[in-house]
Chains A and B, each alone.
Chain A
Amino acid sequence: MSAPTGITRVTLLKDLRLEWRSKDAINSMLFFSLLVVVVFSFSFDPSAEESRQIAGGLVWVAFLFAAVVALNQTWARELRNQVLDAYRVSPAPANSLFIAKTLGNFIFVSVLEALMTPLFIMFYRLRALGPAWPLLLVAALGTWALVVNGTFFAAMSLRTRSREIMLPLLLFPISIPALLAMVQATTSILNGEGARFWIVLLATYDLVFTTVCLLLFETVLNAE
Chain B
Amino acid sequence: MTAPVPVITATNLIKQFGRFAALRGVSAEFAGGKLYAILGDNGAGKTTLLRTLAGLNQPSSGEVTILGAQKFHDICQQVGYMAHPSLLYDEMSGMENLEYFARLYGITSRTRCAEAIRAVGLDPELVRPVGQYSQGMRQRMSLARALLNDPKILLLDEPFSNVDLHSAADMVRLLAGLRDHGKTIFIVTHQAALLEGAADEFVWMEFGKIVERTRDLKRLEIAGESPRGQSQ
The answer on A and B forming one complex is yes
Give the 7 A-B CB pairs with smallest separation, nearest first.
A90-B104, A86-B87, A1-B106, A92-B104, A82-B85, A10-B103, A81-B85
**Quick check: is B145 within 8 A (CB to CB) of the other chain?**
yes
A88 to B73, CA, bound (A): 9
**Quick check: is A14 within 8 A (CB to CB) of the other chain?**
yes
Pick the interface stretch among A15-23, A41-49, A101-109, A115-123: A15-23
CB contact under 8 A between A2 and B81, given known A14-B89, A81-B89, A85-B56: no
Q: Is the CB of A81 within 8 A of B86?
A: yes
Q: Is the CB of B76 within 8 A of A86?
A: no
From the candidates B57, B76, B88, name the one contacting A90 in the complex (CB within 8 A): B76
- Interface residues on chain B, size class: 20 to 34
From the candidates B55, B83, B129, name the one contacting A82 in the complex (CB within 8 A): B83
Q: Is the CB of B105 within 8 A of A91?
A: yes
A6 to B76, CA, bound (A): 19
A7 to B57, CA, bound (A): 24
From the candidates A2, A80, A82, A89, name the one contacting B106 in the complex (CB within 8 A): A2
Q: Is the CB of B101 within 8 A of A88?
A: no
- A residues with a Cβ closer than 8 A to B are 1-2, 6-7, 10-11, 14, 17-18, 21-22, 77, 80-83, 85-92, 222, 224
A39 to B91, CA, bound (A): 34
A210 to B179, CA, bound (A): 46
From the candidates A17, A80, A91, name the one contacting B73 in the complex (CB within 8 A): A91
For B64-105 the 0/1 string (1 means CB < 8 A from A) is 000000001100110101010111111110001000110111
Q: Is the CB of A21 within 8 A of B106?
A: no
With a CB–CB cut-off of 8 A, which chain A residues contact B143?
Answer: none
Q: What's the A-B contact tally at a CB cutoff of 8 Å?
A: 78
Shortest A215–chain B CB gap in Å is 17
Shortest B172–chain A CB gap in Å is 23
Question: In the complex, which residue of chain B has the Cβ closest to the Cβ of A90?
Answer: B104
Q: Is the CB of A224 within 8 A of B57?
A: yes
CB contact under 8 A between A86 and B101, given known A1-B106, A81-B87: yes
Q: Is the CB of A17 within 8 A of B101?
A: no
23 interchain pairs, CB-CB under 8 A: A2-B105, A11-B100, A14-B100, A17-B91, A18-B91, A21-B129, A80-B89, A81-B86, A82-B83, A85-B56, A85-B87, A86-B81, A86-B104, A88-B55, A89-B54, A89-B56, A89-B72, A89-B79, A89-B81, A91-B73, A91-B105, A92-B105, A222-B58
A62 to B145, CA, bound (A): 41
CB contact under 8 A between A10 and B100, given known A1-B105, A90-B76, A91-B73: yes
With a CB–CB cut-off of 8 A, which chain A residues contact B54?
Answer: 89
Q: Is the CB of B92 within 8 A of A17?
A: yes
With a CB–CB cut-off of 8 A, which chain A residues contact B79?
Answer: 89
Apart from A2-B103, A17-B92, A85-B81, list 13 A-B contacts with CB within 8 A: A6-B103, A14-B89, A14-B92, A77-B89, A80-B89, A80-B90, A81-B89, A82-B83, A91-B76, A91-B105, A91-B106, A92-B104, A224-B58
A207 to B180, CA, bound (A): 53
With a CB–CB cut-off of 8 A, which chain A residues contact B91?
Answer: 17-18, 21-22
A222 to B103, CA, bound (A): 21
Shortest A122–chain B CB gap in Å is 35
Shortest A219–chain B CB gap in Å is 12
A21 to B105, CA, bound (A): 25
Q: Is the CB of A83 within 8 A of B56?
A: no
For B28-71 the 0/1 string (1 means CB < 8 A from A) is 00000000000000000000000000111110000000000000
